[in-house]
Structure 1
Amino acid sequence: MSSSHGRKQIASEMMGTGFQIAPMIDVVFVIMLFFMVMANSVKVEHELKTVLPGPPSKLMPEPADELRIEIAEDGAVLMNDEEFDSASDAKLPTLTANLIRLKKDADFRNERVVVTLQSEEQAKYERIIQVMNALAAAKIASVTFTIGSEEF
């Protein structure tokens, strides 16, 4: 009896050791299902509209001559070495009118107005703000600041 019992054990072991195709098919179907589901979540790349630096295009306005506005310690305001308004005038009507005229002229020629605001180190902040208000009234946004008496 022990020999027949041993044969049954060997026969059952041999039947379980063969290559099983059913689990492999299940794994392939699971992997295929995974890729099918993930295919919908792949983002399609779109063309990015970028403009690289190069020759100036006709759409961009040409840069205008740079205006230089100087603010002295005593409150005097000079535009391109010409004094405007008195040091005690807070509204700066002459400077504002000239800036508005220059801005309209530049817009007509499709040019930009670029301003360098140069103030002396001891100039009052209040006066700088008054000049900036005049620039804002003229709708001039391209402003560069310098401090001290640099030579141009």
Structure 2
Amino acid sequence: MKHSIHSDTTTLGFQIAPMIDVVFVIMLFFMVMVGSVKVERELKTKLPGPDDLTQLVKFPAEEITLGILEDGTVLLNEEAFDSPKDKALPMLTRTLRRVADSSAQQKQVVLVTIQAEEQASYERVIDVLNSLHQAQIQNVTFTVGSEPL
């Protein structure tokens, strides 16, 4: 018995089933990736507007200039305080406390600039810093030189 295998050569042509599988895999990929992309319209931003009254209004800072002359005289906005030999500077300290208190009530920041002449003693600068500390004023800057006060 002889079996012969009869094969008809047929051309398969274009197969649609594998193409549908590929399309479904690509579609599945994009469906999964869409969930991980952040859309810009979801960003929480609040623009300033007239109805935003919750923010505190900041007032401008109060600026004070303290000058220290070579002879030890201390000037507050060009007005002399205490004697050049008085180490405690009681009048200056009281004035600085009043300034600090009134600025705190008005919600202002006190900025102090110490202008010391080149030959002013370091000890006098420390005396002025002690007065500022007693008045609880912390924003202090320094300039040194012979600038006019």
Give your verdict on TM over 0.5: yes
* Deviations 1:61-118 (CA, angstroms, capped at 9, x unpaired): 3554x43211123433222333323444443222111211233344456655443311
Structure 1 residue 47: Cα displacement: 2.3
Q: TM-score, normalised by structure 1?
A: 0.63
Alpha-carbon distance in structure 2 between the residues aligned to 1:76 and 1:50: 50
For 1:45, the aligned partner's letter is L
Give the superposition deviation at 1:22. 1.4
Are the counterparts in 2 of residues 92 and 130 from structure 1 also a CA contact under 8 Å? yes
Amino acid at match of 2:142: F
How many equivalent residue pairs? 136
In the other structure, the counterpart of 1:25 is: 24
More helix by share: 1
Paired residues for 1:67-82 under 5 Å: 67-82=64-79
Matches of 2:85 and 2:105, distance apart in 1 = 33
Corresponding residue number in structure 1 for 2:116: 119
Quick check: 1:69–1:117 contact (8 Å CA) kept in 2? yes
Identity %: 35
Q: Which runs of 5+ in 1 are unaligned?
A: 52-57
| Residue pair 1:62, 1:110 contacting (<8 A) in 2 also | no
Distance change in 2, residues 1:107/1:27 (3 Å): closer
The normalised TM-score by structure 2 is 0.64
How far apart, CA to CA, are the structure 1 residues paired with 2:145 and 2:109? 26
1 CA distance for matches of 2:96 and 2:131? 8
**Post-superposition shift, 1:32?**
0.9
Partner residue in 2 for 1:83 = 80
Range with greater deviation from structure 2 (80-89 or 132-141): 80-89
- The 5 Å alignment of 1:89-128 reads 89-108=86-105, 112-128=109-125
Residue equivalent to 2:44: 46
Q: Is contact 1:96-1:138 (8 Å) kept?
A: yes
- Runs (4+) of structure 1 exceeding 6 A deviation are none
Q: 1:143 & 1:96 partners in 2: Cα distance? A: 15
Paired with 1:81 and 1:148, the residues of 2 have a C-alpha distance of 16
- What residue ranges of structure 2 are gaps of 5+ in the alignment? 1-5, 50-55
